[in-house]
Amino acid sequence: MMNEVIETMMQHRSIRNYKDTIITDEQLYTIIEAGQMASTSSNLQAYSIINIVDRRLRHELAELAGPQWHVDTAPVFLVWCADLRRVAVATETTIDKHIENLELTENFLVATVDTALAAQNSALAAESMGLGILFVGGIRNQIEQVSQLLKLPQHVVPLFGMCIGYPDEQPFIRPRFSLEAVLHQNSYNEEKIEATIAEYDERVVDYVMERSNGADSFSWSESMRRRLSQARQRTTQQAFFQSKGLMKK
């Protein structure tokens, strides 16, 4: 059963090339406010968004993230942060136990989920306006330097970036796993994993061949093996998060 919202969701694709058309403040504020309406655990609203408008700062972030040139060139670039600072400030005049509890891994998970839910709401709002978006996980490649650039206080950490703008390309829609692969009934069914991976691998090979005009070919499994064999795996994250007063126990 389709409707306009679902049709917009089904057309999602990552956009890296953008037109020079300006995104108005009204558009941006609507996108952010739509994000704020996402579900949030216990009304923590444990996130903040930093709009990067300074060109030099934007360029530095683009370099730290890859480099990724679209971070530098997109009309809007946002950094989404897990933010328990407001909770810390609201409770800092009470007993120390509150700060100890703030440092639990559970609360860090709550903050990351809150951030992701809000960001996905904002992404859908942007796409409903005819805009394109790109999530940029590379913002965590050199997470401590990014945190310093953005002057993030204790209990605030950058999770990912988001480019927004009018698309100047129409890339192929990347195929997803079949419904059978991801939907289980009552308990996890491990018996279907190999078959659903094999079926998806075939579709990914076809997608890559079409996208590259026959110049490249690899399966999902091959790309996962390649990813996990890379030396660069952001191995300092836990220590960084703990240094910010998060995920200590």
pLDDT tens string 91-136: 875 555 667 788 899 999 999 999 999 999 999 999 999 999 999 9
How confident is the prediction for the chain on average, in pLDDT? 94
Which parts of the chain register pLDDT below 50?
none
Read off the pTM: 0.94
> For the domain bounded by 4-171, which CATH number is listed?
3.40.109.10
Residues sharing a CB contact under 8 Å with residue 22, sequence separation 6 or more, in sequence order = 75
CA–CA separation, 13 vs 133, rounded Å? 8
pLDDT at 1: 82
pLDDT at 98: 64
Domain ranges within the chain, ordered by starting residue? 4-171, 174-232
pLDDT at 232: 65
pLDDT at 101: 85
Query: Half-sphere exposure of residue 184, counting CA atoms within 13 Å on the CB side?
Result: 8
- Calculate the CA dihedral of residues 50, 163, 63, 46 and round it to 10 degrees: 30
pLDDT at 97: 60
User: What percent of the chain clears pLDDT 90, i.e. is strictly above it?
Assistant: 87
pLDDT at 93: 56
CA–CA separation, 86 vs 44, rounded Å? 9
Which of these, 110, 101, 107, 124, lies nearest to 33 by C-alpha position?
Answer: 124
Structural contact between residues 145 and 239, judged by C-beta atoms closer than 8 angstroms: no
